Copies of this chain bind each other. A is one copy, B any other.
Amino acid sequence: MAVSLKVDLNCDLGESFGRYTLGEDAEMMKWITSANIACGFHAGDPTVMARTVALAKANGVAVGAHPGYPDLQGFGRRQLELSGEDIGQMICYQLGALEAITRVAGLRLAHVKLHGALYNLAASDSMIARVVSEVVYAFDSALILVGLAGSELTRAGEAVGLRVAQEGFPDRAYLPNGQLMPRSQPGAVITEPGEVAQNVLRLVQEGVPVNGERVRVDTLCLHGDNPNAIRNVLEVRRALERCGTIIAPLCEIVLG
């Protein structure tokens, strides 16, 4: 069985950079329980990070690190051929950078979620999944590792002893092996609000099918960078309330 009685709502935030503004962070913060904050490689800069952490604090939202490839122009969505060593150190670097800003703000880092092409790589490549899990554990073994439900990353995270959150995407189409359909394919991104709401229900009530098995979903990813972001998140919350699923932060869902 893969029913989620409680689910966390996470969103990628802090994606502005210098003069460039992206996303409706202030509004999204009111409706989510976990903020994945960009760490300055694919998006964000130190000042944006600090302001986003402050916003999370003011709204009582848990702060997580959202490391990505060093590729601002591609927004971390373009695959880049890095060695395992480079990936491990690059993630460690970004974890520390955000942890420092979070610490100075008087908060604790709660979770880690990789971004974009790096997220996809770690979901499907077991070697990279292990490298990522090991560096997160070595940095702070109390962090919750968020990864694609039923993926190599959540498997590797559990293997090294991390608490792991299985993530579901209500606005993305899935492949039969549980991987996300690439954004380049038609139908990969679901924009119709009603369909998104239905996916939310299926994800929390049935989990994600991964090669025939069903994996529970601990957290739902919401997107904050499209014109309907706020309407969508309200729709998702309503759908959850209707079916009696409680919205709660990861630390109440993924126990040690």
Partner pick for A89 among B46, B86, B96, CB 8 A cutoff: B46
Interface presence of A3 (CB below 8 A): no
Interface presence of A75 (CB below 8 A): yes
Q: Which residues of chain B have C-beta atoms less than 8 A from A73's C-beta?
A: 17-18, 45, 70
Contact, CB under 8 Å: A139 / B93: no
Q: Which residues of chain B have C-beta atoms less than 8 A from A74's C-beta?
A: 18-19, 80-82
Interface of A is mostly: helix
User: Which of A's residues lie within 8 Å of B, judged by CB?
Assistant: 17-20, 22, 40, 43, 45-47, 49-50, 70-75, 78-82, 85-86, 89-90, 92-101, 103-104, 117, 135, 138-139
Q: How far is the CB of A183 from chain B (nearest CB, A)?
A: 12
Q: Which residues of chain B have C-beta atoms less than 8 A from A79's C-beta?
A: 79-81
A86's closest neighbor in chain B, by CB?
B47
Contact, CB under 8 Å: B17 / A92: no
Q: How far is the CB of A127 from chain B (nearest CB, A)?
A: 14
Q: With contacts A70-B73, A96-B98, A104-B138 known, is A90 near B46, CB below 8 A?
A: yes
Contact, CB under 8 Å: B93 / A18: no
Q: With contacts A18-B75, A78-B80 known, is A92 near B101, CB below 8 A?
A: yes
- Starting from the known contacts A17-B73, A47-B85, 15 additional A-B residue pairs (CB-CB under 8 Å) come to A17-B20, A18-B73, A19-B22, A19-B75, A20-B20, A46-B89, A46-B92, A49-B89, A71-B80, A89-B101, A93-B101, A94-B97, A95-B100, A96-B99, A96-B101
